Amino acid sequence: IFQGDLGRFGMWITALSLLVKTIPGMILGFGPGAYWGRDYPLHSEFMAMWFYFGLVGLFMLLCYIHSTWGFLWKSKNKVLMTSFLIICVDCVANFPFEIATTGFMGMIILGLIERERLNYEKGI
């Protein structure tokens, strides 16, 4: 659709135009690492999740975010809550899990949240 530098909205429109062409593509996605028209990643983890894994994968991601946010709200751990919020906001218009350093940091934070959840359920 677009030629030259796309910008974020142009990238998302290009990926969306490919998604809406086929119903199976929209629901199930095109698979991890599928070519969306450029050699660089989509500048949105949420858009990339929808493109690669379809509405099914996007729904699973949103359910994880919802349940994790609910747990963090209940546990009142403000450090992990703030870290998780920053990761979620960064994923809107960036691709932090496709860069090794920010991906490792995000995975460490998510691991700390899951450890907190496990300890919370055990009553520790």
Q: Rounded to two decimals, what is the model's pTM?
A: 0.87
Query: So what's the pLDDT on residue 5?
Result: 66
CA separation for the pair 7, 44 (Å, rounded):
12
In this prediction, residue 4 carries a pLDDT of 57
DSSP letter for 32, please.
T
Cα separation, 82 vs 114, in Å, equals: 15
What pLDDT does residue 70 have?
96
Cβ atoms within 10 Å, residue 69: 14
Residue 44 pLDDT grade (very low, low, confident, very high; cuts 50, 70, 90):
very high
Q: Give SS3 for 44.
A: coil
The tens digit of pLDDT for each residue in 73-100 reads 999 999 999 999 999 999 999 999 999 9
